[in-house]
Structure 1
Amino acid sequence: MTVNDDAFTNWKHREEIAESMIPIIGKLHREQDVTVLLHSRSLVNKSVISILKTHRFARQIAGGELSVTETLPFLQALTTLDLGPSQIDIGMLAATYKNNNEGLTVEEFTARAVAGATGTANTRRPEPRDVVLYGFGRIGRLVARLLIEKAGSGNGLRLRAIVVRPGGGRAADDLVKRASLLRRDSIHGQFQGTITVDEAHNKIIANGNEIKVIYAADPTEIDYTTHGINNAVLIDNTGKWRDRQGLSQHLRPGIDKVVLTAPGKGDIPNIVHGVNHDTIKPDEQILSCASCTTNAIVPPLKAMADEYGVLRGHVETVHSFTNDQNLLDNYHSADRRGRSAPLNMVITETGAASAVAKALPDLKAPITGSSIRVPVPDVSIAILSLRLGRETTREEVLDHLRDISLHSPLKRQIDFTTAPDAVSMDFVGSRHASTIDAGATKVDGDNAILYLWYDNEYGYSCQVIRVVQHLTGIEHPTYPTPTP
């Protein structure tokens, strides 16, 4: 047998193992509401190749490739436990087990590591919570995809309705077109599942989820209880109203809380999940998820401030163009944004730097910011230049940020890559708020420059979902527990 034969035989063996993992992962998700992760990446509804690629990717952040032969025993051990709703990272289980010298079996170690999700400590199963999307644009459709994806266990958040302005022509044509936009996306690809249209009842049915499409020109026209919707969270992704007075219009019969997918104004709390989501007051009815750029820069900024101190900083975002720009030169109320988006780099402003104070009130360092819109349809990069409170080295900073991405409570927000040829398209579909580019990082004494890739559509939508899960008490704990 040749070396090539050996490699191919090994590959087929790993394929077989990955294939055996799929029904275990699916059953844990459907029957026990357990999401199996690998270094913060969900393995639910993934193909054999996706599972193998996710294991392969572990080398980028953990320093070495992770094999399915290492993680399968931990997955099998989970099936013997009385688990409640939770997220369990088998990559972290395998990694921490390697460093454990207590002589425990895989089964014993796993049972101890996830004890908070088992037996009498089993997390209660929350009642499903209704969600309404107000607006169905770029963020609205991605949030819809995520809500439908996460409805597989039958618990948690349920997308019940979408509110849109009355379209031209027949309502059926409008409904079909909106369903088609959900089904196919030029950037994020095909919807994973099936979508049908119930024209008679104005519903889109996606993977068995019946979603009512409500046509309304104004929030005050709607009584959601007439559609069987109660105690719902409404996600406003239009950005039309950004202060308390405007967003209060959504607090109609059937709506309990309102979440804005844009920076809030005035006294609206701006929430970045992973950083200040635990400051949400139980009686708060209106809050904002800030901007995609704020979500990208605040978690790494907190990680750096906690370890080194930050005296001042500047963020320059190189941002993909958005729908508020023009395809060709035309009038626009903002300076420069009227110029053709796919043909120009466009200097514009960003409120992300000033929004840092709302998410990190203890950080007294002045942070400035500016932005350049560029001719790419998705994924942006934030260049975060910091004056630190003490001198350090590039190696120390990278070790710190890699550790944060693997082991800290910010590991769902901060990703880490050492890929030497990483470019923007590589991060389409990233579920993290941002990804540290190790190769581009620069450190000189007390000056550090971080390059942060972020999918300003999908990664941000994931952050929105995390805030809503926390707001409704449906945010499942993760095991092994991240190190503070």
Structure 2
Amino acid sequence: MRIALNGFGRIGRTVLRQVLTRADCADIEVALLNDIAPIETCAYLFRYDSVFGPYPGKVEAEIGALALDGRSIPFTQEPDLGALDLSGIDLVMDCTGTIHTRAQAARGLSAGAKNVLISGPCPEAERTIVLGANDETLGTARIVSNASCTTNALAPLLRAIDDALGIASGHSTTIHCYTGSQPMVDAPRGDLARSRAGAVSMVPTTTSATRLVDHVLPQIAGRVSGAAVRVPVISVSAIDAVLHLKRALPSDVEGFLRTLAAASPVLGATEDATVSTDLRARPESLVIALPETQVVGAHQLRVFGWYDNEWGFSARMIDVARRMVARDQA
């Protein structure tokens, strides 16, 4: 399939790195890169990455193209998605973080792309799809939101547990690495806590995943609350969920969670004693840390899991893109 990447920031670069380095992505051609930053800067940031390390191949900036391992990918600097030439593009991934309306996204369709996949929440998207949670609802939607990294981590877990035992209520805390939305030094932000330097403090805040989970899983809407704490690590985040279940837990709870993970296309599980850095570049939406499991009585379950909020989310962008394009070709 032929895709275009509009926006070459953290997610755009991580998607491209996966396409170029994963053996199972040989069927994907990135036919266009678009970003308003200078091509020399984009080439440098792709060559050297503070999270995933240097790109293992050759990276060069050419006139109007980014040369990767000897292959040139056209590179444009067009701020308007609708002004791009997307003819022959099966899907454009919008990774700019600036598309929030259907009209904005539809400019990608008018430019010639068959589909638009948005790398973040978009309330006006035709569908918000989370693989392993509600991907059966994709239908014929052409403008799709891939939700958020935390929603991709939490929703498949909640769907699997609700299907098996029923969720009466619960709360999830996201322990999230700092992001570009936070300042490096104290600086004004709308959220007072988020105005503090992100790399030196734990910062309590909100998460969009609470609203998005209700949207993606309407069958449990209003039953699971959520909050977030931003912590001073550069990558890999965690979900800490306490759930009250309608039906009694099985006697082997870790075995139950292991089975749920094995049956899911996006969940994983580990029996090792792990810390966040151990999960860097893991492709799963969530890796359940089985030693952290706790049970109170027959109906209360605590689940702790890790997710690489950049690598795992980018992997889901690729997966959902494949589903949309395969649907068109069926």
Larger Cα Rg: Structure 1 or Structure 2? 1
1:217 aligns with 2:79: yes
Hey, what does 2:5 align to over in structure 1? 133
Q: 1:317 aligns with which of 174, 182, 187?
A: 174
Aligned length: 327
Aligned partner letter, 2:326? G
Structure 2 stretches lacking a partner, 5+ long: none
Structural mapping, 1:16-415, within 5 Å: 129-150=1-22, 156-165=27-36, 167=37, 174-199=38-63, 202-225=64-87, 230-266=88-124, 268-282=126-140, 284-364=141-221, 366-393=223-250, 396-406=252-262, 408=263, 410=264, 412-415=265-268
What is the one-letter code of the residue matched to 1:439?
P
Higher relative contact order (CA 8 A, sep 6+): 2
Alpha-carbon deviation of 1:271?
0.7
Provide the rounded CA distance (Å) in 2 between the counterparts of 1:443 and 1:464: 34
Q: Matches of 1:152 and 1:195 in 2, distance apart?
A: 22
**Structure 1 residue 462 corresponds to structure 2 residue 312:** no
Q: What TM-score do you get using the length of structure 2 for normalisation?
A: 0.93
Secondary structure of 2:300's partner?
A: strand
Counterpart AA for 2:15: V
- Correspondence for 2:293: 441
Q: CA deviation at 1:152?
A: 7.5
Alignment partner of 1:391: what SS?
coil
Alignment-mate amino acid for residue 32 of structure 2: A
CA distance in 1, matches of 2:72, 2:324: 23
Of residues 453, 462, 478, the one that matches 2:306 is 453
- Aligned CA distance change for structure 1 residues 333 and 391 (closer, same or farther; 3 Å): same
1:334 Cα deviation from its structure 2 partner:
3.1
CA contact (8 A) 2:19 2:25 kept: no
Q: Secondary structure at the match of 1:368?
A: strand
1:432 aligns with 2:289: no
Cα shift at 1:331: 1.9
Kindly indicate whether the alpha-carbon contact (under 8 Å) linking 1:415 and 1:432 is maintained by their aligned counterparts in 2: yes
Root mean square deviation, CA, Å? 2.0
Q: After TM superposition, give the deviation of residue 440 of structure 1 in Å.
A: 0.8
Amino acid at match of 2:260: I
Q: List alignment gaps of at least 5 residues for structure 1.
A: 1-128, 168-173, 476-484
Higher helix content, 1 or 2? 1
**Offset at residue 385 of structure 1 (A):** 1.1
What's the TM-score, normalizing by structure 1? 0.64
Deviations 1:238-297 (A, max 9, x none): 121222122222223321111111112145411111222232122x21010000000001
8 Å CA contact 1:222–1:252 kept in 2: the answer is no
Provide the C-alpha distance between the structure 1 equivalents of 2:25 and 2:30, rounded to a whole number of angstroms. 14
Cα distance per residue 1:213-232 (max 9 Å; x no partner)? 1111222332334xxxx133
Match of 1:64 in 2: none
Superposition deviation, residue 163 in structure 1: 1.1
Query: In the alignment, is the contact (CA less than 8 A) between 1:440 and 1:451 conserved in 2?
Result: yes
Deviations 1:194-222 (A, max 9, x none): 223323xx111223443111111222332
